[in-house]
A = this chain, B = another copy of it.
Amino acid sequence: MGKGRLEAFSDGVIAIIITIMVLELKTPEGHSLSALVPLAPVLLSYVLSFVYVGIYWNNHHHMLSVCHRVSGSALWANLHLLFWLSLFPFTTAWMGENYLAPGPTAAYGAVLLMAAVAYWILEQALIVADGKDSALRGAIGSDWKGKSSPALYLIGVALTFWRPWIAQLIYVLTALMWLVPDRRIEKIVAR
């Protein structure tokens, strides 16, 4: 089965997710620039989620570029990932409206965690689909980023009820860690 439509569909869903998050930036009541100030946490929360969805799109792009076959399981693993990504607008809005509150910060981290797990499952399904000659298996290598991220989110979620700002800092730092595109896969593609 070709991967073209899987890529096209994922691109569509991810494009919509990244764009509808901005609908949470409600038009301010007044018309002075100071009316924008209360929106700052919503905007910051939007920026963080925009970066995260961008990271997922980038990595998804890289990952599929070294795959040749897509199995039925991979299709569903992909939909599973898209499901968790589709909850980003919800947790983004909730955290944005309740800056530094423990509940929304924990929910935000939990969705990040589930998306990371779903991404890992998709990776495994794609490796299995390509069989012994999977270029993706070699490209991933030890995959320390993919393995440490869920742990970091888990630590973040655990810390929300003590110091929510530390959790949010962990989410930001993990995003920064991923901002560097995956050189390992780029190398494989270059060859």
Q: List residues of chain A with CB under 8 Å of any chain B CB.
A: 1-2, 5, 7-9, 11-20, 22-25, 27-28, 30-33, 35-36, 47, 50, 54, 57-58, 61, 65, 72, 75-76, 79, 82-83, 86-87, 89-90, 93-94, 97-98, 101, 103-104, 106-107, 179-181, 186, 189
Contacts and interface: CB of A to CB of B under 8 A. Distances in A.
Nearest to A79: B54
Contact of A13 (B8, B19, B65): B19
A7 B7 contact: no
Nearest to A21: B86
A99 B94 CA distance: 23
A5 B15 contact: no
B12 A5 contact: no
A7 B61 CA distance: 12
A94 B22 CA distance: 14
Nearest to A9: B11
Which applies to chain A's interface (DSSP): helix, strand, loop or mixed? Answer: helix
B31 A98 contact: yes
B189 A1 contact: yes
Given A65-B2, A103-B35, A181-B75, A19 B22 contact: no
A36 B107 contact: yes
Contact of A5 (B31, B61, B94): B61
Contact of A103 (B14, B31, B47): B31
